[in-house]
Amino acid sequence: MTSSPHYDALVVGARCAGSAAAIALARAGRRVLLVDRTAFPSDTLSTHVNFPSAVAEIDKLGALERVMACDPPKATHGMVQADGVRCLERFASVDGIDYGICVPRPHFDDALVRTAIDAGAELRERTSCERLVWAGGRVTGAVLRGPDGEEYAVSCSLLVGADGRRSSVARMVGSERPYRGSDNNRACAFFYMDDPQVGTVWRERLIQLRQGATHALIFPCPDDRVLCLFMGPREDIPAWRKDPMGMWERMLEENPAVRERLGGATNFTKLRSTAENPAFFRRSSGPGWCLAGDAGHFKDPIIGQGMRDAMRFGRLWGEAAAPVLDDPAALDAALRAVEERRDRECMATYHWGNRESRIFDVSPLHREVLAAWDGADPPRLLHMFDRIQSPHRVLNPLVGARFATRAMLRRGADRRAILREAVEELRIDAGIWREELFPRFRSTRQSRSERTDWQWPPRRPARAAGAAPAVAPAAVAVDPLDIGESVPAGAERVAA
């Protein structure tokens, strides 16, 4: 077996978290090897959206100019509509950024990778991590397999695993099974398509349309394209894979707001879908190693926070490690401190994702919140998406009590149902507040937002009768968690 020179850091996985860590380490003058099992540009399963706080993270990495060269529409407003109640709000500024963007992952990830290379990182594509090298209880390197199948050893002071939810690095360091998690009830199915609203204000909005059991998320993209994600019951996924366009028509029929925004859309890509998005926390640092991005922590994608957190904490891990790579004890302490910070900052958002992943129709309480959004003293709901305030602070118990009271006072209200919902939400809030006020690192204590029947690895749904096998094209890098793809009848296979 051949051997490569020593690297200060080996980063396995070159997307959001991995590139961010590599950029921070390389900027500090460290020798960094960045590897990925695919070649760039390439696709991956994602909600794709970046709210202003995420755009600010892109800017901190020095990649914003490259990303904006894709010419994505600047979405200055967020909108939520439910049961005919439409609420529109302008995004607040976060570190000077007051707009969100949606850029397809082939272009987005390539921009991050090229920024890492410019910072001084060495990139090796189509390269996998086969096993780790240990010495004295520490990770000191890895055996890699290159595109020609040859294996070779690389030594390093730090190994960063940024290789997704089914992280091979997590398995190799003994941290594969999350110590805490929650099952979800929502699945994800999405298309890209030509936007029928080019030249209108719709191109300036990131929107969520709630109707019945399925939420539709619609984000404008470069090249006059638009992305539509349906987050509905996971039991619907076999039907999506069997008859994508039939399900599309069903969604237009069930949610008139989707038809208003996307009726007449053409030139669909293949359907992408996943039925399992369990949220979790893994032990994410140890002697000579850390887990960044989805490899260490994942929250339900319905809230669109994964890319932001992957970039933010990938960068913070790199910045913390760079000065102490030559001091093993100080390095391990720095890695643990970043893990603690990540958990502290992400815990409330994790619970928010758990709440949103429940299947529910729009309730009287939800309608009251949305109706108040355009009022004299609205709850700043977009502050949750931008991480300016935690959800349980924006919609705190006093605010919730006010909305519950208003809902119960309406003529014909089902007061018992409203009270039951309000009490359940209060119980969830109490658990979140308790965890914030009395935090415990790597706590396995369950909170009321979590559904304890989660499994690892996640279970896969049965395929609908007559559905084609879920096989992704060999040239496309995909998330290994239960991905299915279908092509609508008569649609072109066009690049996202």
Residue 476 pLDDT > 80: no
Q: In 3D, which of 103, 54, 73, 70 has the Cα closest to residue 204?
A: 73
By mean pLDDT, which of 325-329, 393-397, 439-443 is the weakest? 393-397
Overall average pLDDT of the 317-325 stretch: 98
What CATH number is attached to the domain comprising 289?
3.50.50.60
* Residue 440 identity: R
Are residues 430 and 385 both part of a single domain?
Answer: yes
Query: What are the tens digits of pLDDT across the range 231-247?
Result: 999 999 999 999 999 99
Overall average pLDDT of the 47-75 stretch: 97
Q: In 3D, which of 131, 121, 144, 177 has the Cα closest to residue 8?
A: 121
6: containing domain: 2-72+100-181+280-353
Domain boundary among 353, 383, 403: 353
pLDDT at 1: 67
Are residues 298 and 366 both part of a single domain?
Answer: no
Are residues 285 and 432 both part of a single domain?
Answer: no
Are residues 320 and 408 both part of a single domain?
Answer: no
Tokens of 85: 């109640």
Are residues 425 and 293 both part of a single domain?
Answer: no
Are the C-beta atoms of residues 441 and 180 closer than 8 Å to each other?
no
Give a yes or no: residue 495 inside a domain: no
pLDDT at 484: 47
Are residues 29 and 139 both part of a single domain?
Answer: yes
Are residues 387 and 310 both part of a single domain?
Answer: no
105-119 vs 16-27: helix crossing angle, rounded to 10: 20
By mean pLDDT, which of 39-43, 206-210, 465-469 is the weakest? 465-469
Band the pLDDT of 410: cuts 50, 70, 90: confident
Kind and range of the H or E run holding 336: helix 328-356
Overall average pLDDT of the 120-138 stretch: 97
364-373 vs 415-437: helix crossing angle, rounded to 10: 70
Strand order in the sheet with 85-90: 85-90, 77-82, 205-211, 214-221, 225-233, 186-194, 271-274, 483-486
pLDDT at 468: 40
Contacts with 433 (C-beta within 8 Å, 6 or more apart), sequence order? 392
Query: What are the tens digits of pLDDT across the range 336-393?
Result: 999 999 999 999 999 999 999 888 888 888 777 777 665 545 557 788 899 998 988 8
Are residues 287 and 333 both part of a single domain?
Answer: yes
Give a yes or no: residue 394 inside a domain: yes
Band the pLDDT of 489: cuts 50, 70, 90: very low
Give a yes or no: residue 473 inside a domain: no
Tokens of 30: 């460290």
Residue 406 pLDDT > 90: no
Query: What are the tens digits of pLDDT across the range 148-166?
Result: 999 999 999 999 999 999 9
In this prediction the pTM is: 0.90
Residue 463 pLDDT > 90: no
Distance CA 241, CA 451 (A): 27
State whether residue 358 is helix, strand or coil: coil
Distance CA 159, CA 173 (A): 10
Give a yes or no: residue 205 inside a domain: no
Are residues 151 and 37 both part of a single domain?
Answer: yes
Are residues 328 and 411 both part of a single domain?
Answer: no
Residue 11 pLDDT > 50: yes
Beta partners for residue 290, in sequence order: 160, 285
By mean pLDDT, which of 265-279, 321-335, 406-420, 430-444 is the weakest? 406-420
Distance CA 342, CA 149 (A): 36
Give a yes or no: residue 491 inside a domain: no
Number of domains present in the structure of the chain: 2
Give a yes or no: residue 457 inside a domain: no
Q: Is the dihedral of CA 306, 140, 335, 276 positive or negative?
A: positive
State whether residue 403 is helix, strand or coil: helix
Query: What are the tens digits of pLDDT across the range 74-117?
Result: 999 999 988 888 888 899 999 999 999 999 999 999 999 999 99
Write the CA distances from 381 to 20, 213, 234, 439, integer angstroms. Answer: 28, 21, 26, 25
**Would you say how long the chain is, in residues?**
496
